[in-house]
Chain A
Amino acid sequence: MTGNEAMARGAYEAGCKVASAYPGTPSTEILENFAPYEGVYAEWAPNEKVAFEVASGASIGGARALTTMKHVGLNVAADPLFTMAYEGVNGGFVVVTADDPGMHSSQNEQDNRLFAPHAKVAMVEPTDSQECKDFMKEAFEISEKFDTLVLFRSTTRISHSKTIVELGEKIDAEVKPYVKNVQKYVMIPGHAKVKHYEVEERLEALREYSNTCSLNKIEMGDTKIGIITSGISYQYAKEVFGDEASYLKIGMCYPLPDKLIKEFAGKVEKLYIIEENEPYLENAVKVMGIDCTGKELIPVCGELNPEIIRKALKGEAFEEVYTTNVKAPARPPVLCPGCPHRGIFYAVSKYKDIVASGDIGCYTLGMMAPLNVTDTVICMGASVSAGTGLQKANLMGNREGKIFSFLGDSTFFHSGITGLINAVYNDSPIVTCILDNRITGMTGHQENPGTGRTLQGKPAPMIDIEKVVLSVGIKPENIRVVDPYKLAETEAAVKDAYNSTEPFVIITKQPCALIKDVIKKRVNMKCNVITDKCKNCKMCLKSGCPALSFKNGVVSIDKNMCNGCELCKQVCKFNAIEKVGE
């Protein structure tokens, strides 16, 4: 099982009843794997804050509840996190934060272990898939026993590594009765002041538990070297040192087991702290007055691996025997062949004086050459609001220049709507391009409020993006709905938008080329280069479609990649590209 599959299984075995999440790599598959279990309710929420609050309500209502998100998702949900830390739980409440060291698919490398002491809640951290399952069950127990939500920290290599898991029995955790208790569940200042004291007392009780529970474990080997470590770093440390060292494996990383750490430090000669990113454990150990070595040798930036540890702590490495003069070309990710986002980016790329405010999703790739359309990306939903800021800077600096914002359907529902309301309310004549591909794409095709289906496969009302746009106050004459596979139509909309002096919205509608039904429908649709007519002008290559190539002086289209979107055909001025197949 992957770590994510195992977390889902653990939540099921723990009798978790309600789960709500917003997809985000590397957390997405937890809910996808939880949703099919019998007797559970699971949903995709429009964003992490909503998901967190749904799970909070479910917990207050007495159900064991789960919410999952990527590390930056917890920033979105930080508001309810800090207050639910005061309110505590009724049904057990577990919050998964899946961090992304190395930023395989993220915009920053924040270490969410730091959230636990900040919010003053317990945190557990597994080292493989078996522990993902077992610790999840334990986390629900801790949550109810200590009346606290529990943060469950994973990382990309925990979530997306497969290791062997032995399954356990499902616990019968019925939904507890709900009893009205305003002192506990209404955080007005008067109640919160009392609660803060309780939170501090709870942390002391949790610290005692951390010192004695089975989540934190000493494994004695050679005592010349002692290693305190947690998460995937434990596996790397074992790989490198094996029995040549002793280990304190931290499974409950907040509150830390102070007595256990002292005991362990006293048993070993040299103490290393092996952890990814921030010196979280190291700082805590040093504050206790214990001498140890960590970030002097192990880097803060980037993902850790056994090779780095081996070089840093042992001064060794496996011999690299083979080298070649063949230089592999850089291979950055790109918009897929037939991606419906390409059309609008191609149309906008003709306007060199605009500033493009991008967003989180596949369309971030609009920044790549040869399209080069994207000047800034911050976080989910920021395209529209940062677009307004850019426009206001132009205004105050007496500068010309149009601002185009780009975001997808799911990101629009996530937090783009509020930015658009702001643009209307504060009269910001930016162009918001909503690239509606009928799915949450980058994370691997999750349903969203616009797709007409729920996570558990039930039909759902489709929230109509055009109606939302109209209802927040964009004038009907300032809205264009286009098919991005039709270049002339898309270019006309971009031209109107460029010339408009009011807030303007372009909605492109065409489903993601990777959706199974779309692949099936388009399987025989291809484009083909008519070599006789081709002048080798390479205009088509400017669309940046990876199905096109220029080999041995000839432009050709890889028929296994092409889905017949016809963008290149429309770009070609010599009618040298034809459509074949239906």
Chain B
Amino acid sequence: MNEVKNILFVGVGGQGTILASKILSEGLMKHGYDVKMSEVHGMAQRGGSVTTQVRYGEKVYSPLIEKGNADVIVAFEKSEAARYIPYLKKGGYLVVNDYEIHPVTVLIGQEKYPENVNESLRETVENTIIMDAAKIAEDLGNIKAQNVVLLGALIKALGVENIDWNEVVAGLVPAKAVELNKKALAKGMEA
């Protein structure tokens, strides 16, 4: 049976969703899976709401994930988790970065940033993992590694810890950031 797993990364342009999905795809591919990944460039990247999608299995056709069919949603910003929640499949995992980025609409008072996001997400989805990845990454030395912290939590949720992720990370991040990212990955997998 050709079972395809679907992972949806959501966040705000500039948060590093693309690198996280790149590391994930590379590791899965080296493990022998057929993998497709789809990303968005250009205008949307300028602080807008962005998604990256990864699908893997024995044979994958579409690079896009349908609503109600994501096995895991990784939200780099917590209100973005709420936006994309209809994509999650029953029993799926929601990995959420406990981090707020206020869009310009909130900044100028057109809209309000929602309250009690974490509580509401936990109530809605049984398998909700909320972590302060930004804080964890900052404590490790650089907030930018928050994407790899979240990736660690995702790897655990998917149950693919058996892949040598450290090797994949070493191949994809700049040499001086390898150690930091390895630590970030381990921290994420602990959560």
Q: Which residues of A contact B (CB under 8 A)?
A: 25-26, 28, 104-105, 128, 156-157, 160-164, 232, 235-236, 238-239, 305-307, 310, 317-336, 362, 364-365, 368-370, 442-444, 541-542, 544, 546, 548-551, 560
Closest to B103 in A: A331
Given the interface pairs A104-B44, A239-B61, A326-B120, the reply to whether A551 lies near B25 with Cβ below 8 Å is: no
- Our pick among A232, A325, A560 for the contact of B143 (Cβ within 8 Å) is A560
- Our pick among A161, A320, A442 for the contact of B67 (Cβ within 8 Å) is A320
Closest 3 CB pairs of A and B: A105-B42, A318-B68, A25-B42
Q: Which residues of A contact B90 (CB under 8 A)?
A: 319, 321
Q: Which residues of B contact A310 (CB under 8 A)?
A: 66
Mark the stretch among B105-113, B155-163, B165-173, B180-188 that contacts chain A.
B105-113
Cβ-defined contact, A161 with B63, below 8 A: yes
Given the interface pairs A161-B37, A333-B43, the reply to whether A318 lies near B105 with Cβ below 8 Å is: no
Q: Which residues of A contact B31 (CB under 8 A)?
A: none
Interface size counted on chain B using CB atoms at 8 A? 61
User: Within B75-128, which residues are at the interface with A (CB < 8 Å)?
Assistant: 79-80, 82-83, 85-86, 88-90, 101-114, 116-117, 120-121, 124-125
Closest to B90 in A: A321
The docked-state distance in angstroms from the alpha carbon of A541 to that of B88 is 35
User: Within B25-59, which residues are at the interface with A (CB < 8 Å)?
Assistant: 25, 29, 34-49
Closest to B119 in A: A326
A432 to chain B, nearest CB (A): 23
- Our pick among A128, A162, A330 for the contact of B25 (Cβ within 8 Å) is A162
Most chain B C-beta atoms within 10 Å of own C-beta, residue among A161, A310, A319, A542: A161
The docked-state distance in angstroms from the alpha carbon of A443 to that of B14 is 14
Cβ-defined contact, B14 with A318, below 8 A: no
Interface of A: prevailing SS: loop
Cβ-defined contact, A307 with B67, below 8 A: yes
Cβ-defined contact, A332 with B104, below 8 A: yes
- Our pick among B46, B79, B104, B112 for the contact of A369 (Cβ within 8 Å) is B104
B80 to chain A, nearest CB (A): 6
The docked-state distance in angstroms from the alpha carbon of A1 to that of B44 is 22
Cβ-defined contact, B42 with A162, below 8 A: no
Most chain B C-beta atoms within 10 Å of own C-beta, residue among A157, A163, A368, A443: A163
Q: Does B12 contact A (CB under 8 A)?
A: yes
A82 to chain B, nearest CB (A): 28
Q: Which residues of B contact A541 (CB under 8 A)?
A: 107-108
Given the interface pairs A161-B38, A322-B86, A546-B101, the reply to whether A333 lies near B114 with Cβ below 8 Å is: no
- Can you give 17 A-B contacts (C-beta < 8 A)? A104-B41, A160-B40, A161-B38, A162-B37, A164-B34, A318-B89, A323-B86, A326-B117, A327-B82, A329-B114, A331-B47, A332-B103, A333-B46, A334-B104, A335-B47, A541-B108, A542-B108
Q: Which residues of A contact B85 (CB under 8 A)?
A: 322-324
B27 to chain A, nearest CB (A): 13
